[in-house]
Structure 1
Amino acid sequence: MLYRSLQRQSQLAFTRPWVQLIRSQSTTIKVTTINPIPASQSPVLPEAQDNGNKDGNEKKKKEQFPNLPLYLSAFILGAGLAQLFPLNELAKFWISERLPAANSPHAESFRNNVETQLQKLPLYQKLYNDPDYKSVRAWNYVDSSTIDDVITTGVLAVPGGIAIKPVLFYNSRTKESVNIVHVGQRLCGYPFLIHGGILATLLDEIMKRGASFKFGIDPISDYKWDHIKTDTIELQYKFPTFANQFLVVRTKINENGDVEGRVETVNGRLLVNGLGKYSEPKFSVLPVIVGGGRSSSASASQSTGKSRFWPF
């Protein structure tokens, strides 16, 4: 009995350190319970996800362009009407309806209004009060044939054309000129834009008159359109010229004897630049040929006491 007790104590003494060592190095395993995924949060397959994205994009496009069919229909309708009725013809018709007739009381009121605007321009007031400048009002810029070639509405001095006489300021000391002219919507080639031919004619005629200083001709009292001819003229269109405004045309004679011209707005924006060469036309008297009892047409004109001159 004593032997068994001693044997048991020796076994416990031997196994106890190993049990303690195993307990100190053991790990605890924690088990986590996974809850089931709700049906609303179930995973989406790639194909289903792509279809969902496409539907969403189409919906967004419809929300961004709700009136796209209407816009396309309006564009097609407008393109069809433009083929039948050009825009410039519609604009001319609309403009003609709004402007007063040439000889009506409303036309006189229209001219008075434009004249008042002219006299209120700071540039006009400055040059009018400057003793170095002399002024004149003249029509001899654009003849009716030029207007008729460009516009379908007729003559020059009408509301919407050049309703009032242009004013010309000349400085004999510097041989410069400043001209102010009002251009209306009847002078348009394209809607609301002054025709380039009108601008070219204006600039050429004003530069031609400005060239009279070169030949000792007074541009105010002695100038006539057939005293000077245009040899060459170069024009550069810098900016579109809108209708219903005053244009300022400046000219001067440079060192080479050529005439430089500029078409500007009243605020100084350059619209057209020009350079021209001008000369005095040569005149010759057609000879009078008498023989065989016949006379030429030139001799017939001589019988009236007047000589016929022809510029070359």
Structure 2
Amino acid sequence: MSSTSTMSWLLRATPRLRRTGLQSAATSTTSWRGVNIINNMNSQRPISTTTKGSAQAQAQAISSVGHGEHSHHHHQQPVEAEAEALISSHPLLKSLRADPSFKETRPHLTMPACLKPYHLVAGVLTGPGKVTVPPFMFSSSETRQVISIFHLGPELCGHPGFVHGGVLTVLFDEVFARTAMPYLPSKLGVTANLNIDYRAPAAPDSWYALKARVVGQEGRKAWVEGRLESLPMENGKEPLLVAEGKSLFVEPKFAKSMPSLYKS
């Protein structure tokens, strides 16, 4: 077949190839996406009170869906209003609000909307199934301490039933930064060093409290230590220590050129 004949055949066959090829691709894509949708629907539950021991149960539930076992009960994704109402009644939140030495803030709510798409935690990691609501943050200038309270959803897992350790590290870095920066000359700093020791798996669909404090400050440097604990919602249950961390923050020489992320 000559090159001219080959080109002519291809031009005639292209519509048919497009129909068959693209239809197959579309069917494959729809099927693949459908499985993901089913997985998401069955793995997402109303905000629960799970802490220790729930990771294995969640892993089994997600695994069973992935192998074709369909759940007969579909739960709605946690909504912000539900989360706000649930955590507002927690003894820890009540005690912090009643303590005049602590100031309550919601940093992500004060961030300009135009910057959120470019902020890892306030943008990419925030939303239904992830960091469900903007974290609550309580800071005390007397003790140089910060306590952040947040809910982690099922879409932040590294392995089904276990929150990704990298996500926990990001949250440590975020809270440590908020803890250190008020004690730097320009109130701005960058992470120079961050060490995390993981003590126990973090279960998704659970509440957590990250408690940090400045343990040293010298010139343009501030040292921070803290711990991440589960936040049981049932009376009588003790918090589970998930991880501990240490960090050094340094005010860079270019601090004056760094834009401010928050209004307060």
The question of whether the paired residues in 1 share the 8 Å contact of 2:157 and 2:204 is answered with yes
Query: Where does residue 276 of structure 1 map in the other structure?
Result: 247
String of CA shifts for 1:90-145, please: whole Å, max 9, x gaps.
99654422459xxxxx66x72211111110111001001111100011227x9767
Q: Distance in 1 between matches of 2:150 and 2:172?
A: 11
1:191–1:211 distance in 2 versus 1, CA, 3 Å = same
Amino acid at match of 2:133: I
Cα distance in 2 for partners of 1:167, 1:284 equals 26
Q: Please tell me whether the aligned partners of residues 95 and 186 of structure 1 are also in contact (alpha carbons under 8 angstroms).
A: no
Once the 2 structures are TM-superposed, how far is the Cα of residue 254 of structure 1 from its aligned partner?
Answer: 1.4
Is residue 195 of structure 2 the alignment partner of residue 234 of structure 1?
Answer: yes
- Asked if residue 250 in structure 1 is aligned to residue 211 in structure 2, the reply is yes
Structure 1 contact 160–183 (Cα < 8 Å) conserved = yes
Distance 1:143 1:277 in 2: 27
Q: State the one-letter code of the partner of 1:170.
A: S
Distance in 2 separating the partners of 1:93 and 1:137: 32
Q: TM-score, normalised by structure 1?
A: 0.51
Q: Secondary structure at the match of 2:128?
A: coil
- Hey, what does 2:95 align to over in structure 1? 126
- Residues 1:169 and 1:192: Cα distance change in structure 2 (over 3 Å): same
- Matched residue of 2:242: which SS? strand
Q: Choose which of 207, 215, 235 in structure 1 pairs with 2:184.
A: 215
- Return the TM-score normalized by structure 2: 0.60
Q: Which amino acid aligns with 2:245?
A: G
* Equivalent residues of 1:182, 1:244 under 8 A apart: yes
SS in 2 for 1:206: helix
Is 2:227 the counterpart of 1:262?
yes
Bigger relative CO (Cα 8 Å, ≥ 6 apart): 2
| Conserved? CA contact 1:188–1:194, under 8 Å | yes
Which residue identity is paired with 1:172?
S
- Give the conservation status (yes or no) of the 8 Å contact 1:229–1:278: yes
User: Aligned in 2, Cα 1:143/1:186: closer, same or farther, shift over 3 Å?
Assistant: farther
Change (3 A) 1:169 1:216: farther
User: Structure 2 counterpart of 1:96, which letter?
Assistant: N
Distance, in Å, in 2 between the alignment partners of 1:237 and 1:91 is 32
1:223-267 deviation line (CA, Å, top 9, x unaligned): 6xxx21000111101100000111100111114641002111124
Which ranges in structure 1 are unaligned for 5 or more consecutive residues?
1-88, 101-105, 148-153, 218-222, 286-308
Provide the residue aligned with 2:175 in structure 1. Answer: 206
The structural deviation recorded for 1:156 is 3.0
For residues 134 and 161 of structure 1, do their structure 2 counterparts lie closer, same or farther at Cα, with a shift above 3 Å needed?
Answer: same
Identity of matched residues, %:
27
1:1-312 matches, within 5 Å, as 93-98=37-42, 99=44, 110-139=79-108, 146=120, 155-215=124-184, 227-255=188-216, 257-266=222-231, 267-283=238-254, 309=257
The offset of 1:310, in angstroms, is 7.2
CA change 1:90–1:122 in 2 (3 A) is farther
Instruction: Give, as a single letter, the amino acid of the residue that structure 1 aligns with 2:224.
Output: V
Q: Which has the higher Rg, Structure 1 or Structure 2?
A: 1
SS at match of 1:173: coil
Q: Is the 8 A contact 2:216 2:224 kept in 1?
A: no
Shift of 1:281: 1.1
- CA 1:171–1:239 in structure 2 vs 1: closer, same or farther (change >3 Å)? same
Any idea what SS the aligned residue of 1:207 has? helix
CA distance in 1, matches of 2:99, 2:197: 31
Unaligned runs of 5+ in 2: 1-32, 46-75, 232-237, 260-264
The answer to whether the 8 Å contact 2:223/2:247 transfers is yes
Residues 181-224 of structure 1: CA deviation (Å, up to 9, x unaligned)? 1100011111021111110000011101100232256xxxxx6x
